[in-house]
Amino acid sequence: MNDDRNRSWPGQEPDAPRRAQPGPRPEDPGPAWPGEEAPRRPRGDSAQRGTPPRGNPRGGGSPEWPSGDEGGPQWPGEEPARRPQRARQQGMPARRPVPPPPGQRPQQGPPASPPEGFRQPRGGRPVPPPGREPDLITHHAHNGTDDFGRDPYDDGYDDAAFNEFADDVEPQDELDEKGKKVLTPAQRKKRRWKIARRVAYACVGLFFVVPAIAFVITYFLVDVPTPDSIKSLQNQPITYYDASNQVMGRELPPGGDRQLLKPGEVPEVVKHAVYSAEDATFETNSGFDVTGILRAVWNQVSGGQGGGSTISQQYIKQATQNDAPTLTRKWTELAKSFKMNNQQSKEEIITSYLNIVYFGRGASGIQAAAKAYFNKDAKDLNASEASLLAGLIQGPGRSENQDYAQRRWAYVMDQMVANKWLRADERATFQYPTPIPKNANKEQNSGKLTYQVQQRIKDELAAKGYDENKLFSSGAKIYTTIDPAAQDAAEKAAADGMKGQTDENLLNALVAVDPKTGGVLAYYGGPEIVKDANGKDQIAQDRANQARNPGSSVKAFDLTAFLKMGKGLGETFDGSNNRVLGGRTVRNAGDSASCGKDCTVAKAMEISANTVFYDMVLNVTKPSRVAEAAKEAGVKVSPNGKSILYTDDNNISLGGGGTAVTPEDMAAAYASFASGGVYHEQHFVSKLTNNQDEVEFDQNNIKTNPAFDDDAAKSQQIAGNVTEALVPVIDHSKLKCPSGHECAGKTGTQQYTAKADDPASYKDRNAQTWMVGYTPSVSAAVWVGGDGNKPLHDPKNKPIFGATIAGPTWQNFMNLYLKGKPAEKFDKVQAIGKDVNDVTTTQSKPSDTPSITTTPTTPESSESTEPSDTETNTSKPTRPTRPGPGETPTFPLGNTSGGGGGVAKPPGAGPG
């Protein structure tokens, strides 16, 4: 095919007139090649079209012409069909000229002009001139390409003008009115099937291939719940035991009661009942049930009820606490369920599920449910009872609805028969089981677990890293130091001490500590429930854990600091009344004013002479050493405790001002004297285990240390000297030791800080009173006072003192607790420093008329000869107080006075 475009052969004019003449054509002039005939026109359409002979009419070489032995010219119409020429796109550059074949000279003359003597065929087509022999069929020219892989006949121009003469060009398609190809019926059918196949492929990919790939990816990304990961969700009750290993009480977690079972402990009848109620194919499915999912979808569409979740899926939802109605949750739930069934056995999964599922009545887990509904263990349930519990899984909140419970029971029983887990004749013999009344199986506890004790136990464990979540998740068993006998004695003594009292402001607390271990034997912080301003019940404050001014009971620490410096009980101070010390006047009260100029430390302790101890701390030990001795004995200050030992002024010497100590700390600190100078940290918990009895810690194995000196013997000597000084105080305070037991102790009183508008009688009132004492086996602190700075009085409207209510309460407790116990005596130790037995002192006769000071003395009550400690009198300005934890202010914090609560005043009297 000639790819010349709408033009005649180069160098010649078209023979249009001759082509246009009708009639027979004249004979050809003859052969164009010497000695041969003129080429004959091919017959038929090719002759009519005037198709030029085969050859290369371009300027890239001589035209190819058939050899003489071929019997005639070979016209292009006889060649094999060649591909149609591609239309040149707009803007495409022209092709470069094609070089001549190797060994052939470039064509002479104008480009594409035929050789001399060549006669042009009719129709304007050029006749190729004679030249070299044609290339072999293997040459590129016969394959339609040149040596560079290009078609030498494609010059990039549009061949549309010659397409009508080419046999190898398909006819143009017929187009419809929209310019689209008109299809035959067969083509349309083929096209429809093609679209249908593509849609089918897309659906398969969308609904099967893509989800499968996504499921595999999700499978490897998600983590399945393990027993360890859901321990916090499998909360179990905390069980409290007293010192005799008897149950004091149980505390249920927020999710209710739960008692875990191990794999293999769930009976078959219970498992079959749960399978019948929730997932009959559990033993065979892979974690999800396709038919169940389709059934759930149908129920959702049709308005029916029932889901498609398997037991494995329900367990995942319960374990992750995620029940959001989202496709994401369901998708990951399916993946986790499938993965869990590949990693865990069916026995492990069903046991975990039955340990975590809720059955109502505050019971989580099958064991707790069996107890709550039938007061028996899960292993003892029969088919009827198991069916009732299994039926309640879907509606635990309707456990007390008899109609609902009976319908669910009947359904599960029938499903057990349908699944051949129960014979029909057996089913007929079972009747609906009647559960026990709700809360009828509540365990009987000892009643010694008070709310106050429970909270103190939790505070102690939290400080050790065992918070409430850990305790519930492990089903903790807490073995406490509470002695039931001591707790009974404490509660009775506290109640007896308040009998007959008419002052509604009076409150009390009592704490007892074992000197040999530091364990709290008894703890009473006042009544647990009180009435609020509207008459409604509310939880009362724990008075045993609130810091108060200790008054003269702190003088034991003054003495400890003095002894640590090598000073002894035989040292003497001026015990005269109304001494000016540190710029302020300090007075004694009662018979403490008779100590005289040479008052020994031992005598000053017995009569509680304020001037001696104020002088001792101010000029010898300094306040910091007193605070140090108190902390060594067991007083806990912030951040581990609530007590405050204020050392910026000398009021600590008399237990006033900013110094405040809790009853618990006072009992623990005096226990260090009772133990012979050995420090045992006060504690409520002796041992902690989990529900498998694995020990978390054992307080009994904790090493103890000397309290007051690194040398245990030195520490014992210091404690023994303190005890020797405190023994006479008991008798001086009109108290008695338990029969057969030696005891020692110290009273304390803190004066009420009077207000301007108070009655005249209030100036002699006291706000806080104490009695702290011990035997070798028990140390107890009793506090009786008001909630803040309150002027307290006894039934005769007289001021109260440490020996008025607190002292008798302490004595009563010691007698009740130690009754029948072996007799005890303190160890004798060598005196430190100057021995009191080597000193002869002369005491002055008590003054008939006390010295008058700006702060009046407090007269003794008719019931007691307990002297009241004096206050110093200064004219320093007052400053407001800071309230204690959860209460109104009870003492001036950080001031230079020693008074009670409210607005600070010049230092007030400490107890005697």
Q: Is the dihedral of CA 270, 273, 275, 279 positive or negative?
A: negative
Q: Which residue carries 């810091």 as its tokens?
A: 547
Residues 412/392, Cβ–Cβ less than 8 Å: no
If you compute the radius of gyration of the chain from its CA atoms, what whole number of angstroms results?
56
Q: How far is Cα 409 from Cα 412, in angstroms, rounded to an integer?
A: 5
Q: Please give the order of strands across the beta sheet that includes 579-581.
A: 579-581, 584-586, 872-873
User: What single string gives the DSSP state of each residue in 78-143?
Assistant: GSPP-PPPPPPPTTPPPPPPPPPPTT-PPPPSSTTPPPTTPPPPGGGPPPPPP-SPPPPTTSGGGG
DSSP 762: G
Beta strands 477-480 and 238-241: pairing type?
A: parallel
Q: How far is Cα 417 from Cα 425, in angstroms, rounded to an integer?
A: 9
Q: How far is Cα 471 from Cα 464, in angstroms, rounded to an integer?
A: 12
Q: How far is Cα 249 from Cα 239, in angstroms, rounded to an integer?
A: 6
Q: Please give the order of strands across the beta sheet that includes 766-775.
A: 520-524, 507-513, 778-785, 766-775, 744-751
The structure tokens listed for 743 are 């005891």
Beta strands 599-600 and 572-573: pairing type?
A: antiparallel
Cis peptide bond prior to 639, omega within 30° of 0: yes
What are all long-range contacts of 223-230, with beta carbons under 8 Å and residues at least 24 apart? 223/336, 224/316, 224/336, 224/339, 224/340, 224/343, 224/344, 225/315, 225/316, 225/319, 225/320, 225/336, 225/340, 225/352, 227/352, 229/319, 230/319, 230/352, 230/356
Q: Which residue carries 């600190």 as its tokens?
A: 669
Residue 590 sits at the vertex; the CA angle it makes with 587 and 593, to the nearest 5 degrees, is 50
Nearest CA among 738, 417, 667, 640 for reference residue 523: 667
Please state, as a whole number, how many other Cβ atoms lie within 10 Å of the Cβ of residue 131. Answer: 16
Q: How far is Cα 635 from Cα 651, in angstroms, rounded to an integer?
A: 17
User: Is 113 one of the catalytic residues?
Assistant: no
C-alpha to C-alpha distances, 431 to 275, 291, 376, 409, nearest whole angstrom: 20, 32, 18, 10
Q: How far is Cα 480 from Cα 888, in angstroms, rounded to an integer?
A: 32
User: Is 232 one of the catalytic residues?
Assistant: no
E strands in 494-574? 507-513, 520-524, 529-531, 537-539, 572-573
Catalytic residue among 276, 337, 552, 594: 552
Catalytic residue among 278, 664, 724, 871: 278
Catalytic residue IDs:
278, 552
